């Protein structure tokens, strides 16, 4: 099955313009599936059945794989076998009737406005690195970008006069506005810090590390962890925490749910709805506290 998997990965890269993270995930999931099936004598895609795939899913669950992981693996398998069916290498899709495990959606980690303000105040802005860190944090909270989108932004993706960034994700493009504070931080970074960090290198990416190379996801994770610790934030803060906080704070401020969905790049409205549910729970908690304590309740 190795040849078919390699052809599928090439198709996803060249035709579907899938992100590098998506390609790595597909390749890993499908190679592990192929190893399992081949260990049981199933060596060709035409020999794969619903029963053999169900056996693999049970194997994953018995070996402690989380429901979220199994769901992701099944999504990889579905994409692969849909492709094989279109190529007419199989006559029936063996994933057609597979049942995806139920994934319990956890409430997102959301910072208070005060915590976000404290976090964003941590970079002093006195060195090129801190000016860059300030700009990255401000832009992330201002736009709710995914960390992968943030680190792959190019200078040409930023429209400073009207305050918009253009994101490119898996062949899709969307524009997201940002405000005055983020604009000021970006202007300071571009005017005072980026050239010094580049050290004479040419780099189209907006944010660069201290070696003048594009900032990595892992590099930014370390940055946000560092400043979260400096701010004394107890939550397990990640780049996605600011994305969650961006969405929840917009909805709290009265933003339209569909507008927030567009800015986040959610294909499914249910993904955005959870922030409205969070706000309802928060309001219920406040109401109970009020009714239990206020003398004129």
Q: Which domains does the chain have, with CATH numbers?
A: 2-86 (1.10.150.130), 113-287 (1.10.443.10)
Residues 6+ apart with CB under 8 A from 131: 123, 125, 185, 188, 189, 192, 193
Rounded CA gap, 83 and 185, in Å? 45
Rounded CA gap, 156 and 206, in Å? 8
pLDDT for 252 equals 81
Name the residue with higher pLDDT: 249 or 268. 249
Task: Report the run of H or E that residue 169 belongs to, with start and end.
Answer: strand 164-169
Residue 216 in this model has a pLDDT that exceeds 50? yes
Name the residue with higher pLDDT: 36 or 106. 36
> Is the whole model's pTM more than 0.75, yes or no?
no
Residue 277 in this model has a pLDDT that exceeds 70? no
pLDDT for 223 equals 94
Mean pLDDT of 267-275: 62
If we measure between CA atoms, which residue out of 42, 39, 38, 12 comes closest to residue 27?
A: 12
Mean pLDDT of 194-218: 93
Residue 259 in this model has a pLDDT that exceeds 90? no
pLDDT for 74 equals 92
Rounded CA gap, 67 and 224, in Å? 28
Rounded CA gap, 160 and 153, in Å? 14
Name the residue with higher pLDDT: 67 or 89. 89
User: Per mean pLDDT, which range of 10-24, 93-107, 210-224, 259-273 is the poorest?
Assistant: 259-273
Mean pLDDT of 61-76: 88
pLDDT for 263 equals 84
- Percentage of the chain surpassing pLDDT 70? 86
Residue 155 in this model has a pLDDT that exceeds 70? yes
If we measure between CA atoms, which residue out of 206, 199, 145 comes closest to residue 176?
A: 145
User: Per mean pLDDT, which range of 40-44, 62-66, 113-117, 223-227 is the poorest?
Assistant: 62-66
Give residue 286's pLDDT band: very low, low, confident or very high (50, 70, 90).
Answer: very low
- Residue 192 burial (CB count, 10 A): 14
Mean pLDDT of 229-250: 87
- Percentage of the chain surpassing pLDDT 90? 55
């Amino acid at each position: 099955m190795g040849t078919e998997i390699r052809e599928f990965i090439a198709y996803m890269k060249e035709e579907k313009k899938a992100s590098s993270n998506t390609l790595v995930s597909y390749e890993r999931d499908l190679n592990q599936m192929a190893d399992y099936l081949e260990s049981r004598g199933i060596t060709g895609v035409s020999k794969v059945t619903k029963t053999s795939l169900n056996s693999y899913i049970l194997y994953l669950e018995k070996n402690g794989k989380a429901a979220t992981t199994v769901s992701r693996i099944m999504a990889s398998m579905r994409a692969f076998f849909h492709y094989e069916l279109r190529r007419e290498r199989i006559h029936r899709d063996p994933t057609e009737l597979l049942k995806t495990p139920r994934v319990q959606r956890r409430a997102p980690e959301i910072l208070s406005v005060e915590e976000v303000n404290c976090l964003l105040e941590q970079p002093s802005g006195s060195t090129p690195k801190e000016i860059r860190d300030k700009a990255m944090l401000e832009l992330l909270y201002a736009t709710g970008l995914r960390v992968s989108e943030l680190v792959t932004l190019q200078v040409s993706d930023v429209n400073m006069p009207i305050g918009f960034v253009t994101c490119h994700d898996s062949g899709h493009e969307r524009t997201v506005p940002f405000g005055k504070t983020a604009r000021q931080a970006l202007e300071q970074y571009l005017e005072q810090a980026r050239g010094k960090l580049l050290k004479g290198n040419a780099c189209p990416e907006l944010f660069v590390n201290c070696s003048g190379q594009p900032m990595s996801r892992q590099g930014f994770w370390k940055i946000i962890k560092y400043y979260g610790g400096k701010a004394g934030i107890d939550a397990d803060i990640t780049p996605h925490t600011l994305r969650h906080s961006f969405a929840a704070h917009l909805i709290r401020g009265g933003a339209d749910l569909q507008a927030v969905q567009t800015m986040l790049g959610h294909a499914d409205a249910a993904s955005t709805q959870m922030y409205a549910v969070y706000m309802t729970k928060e309001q219920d908690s406040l109401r109970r506290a009020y009714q239990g304590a206020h003398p004129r309740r």
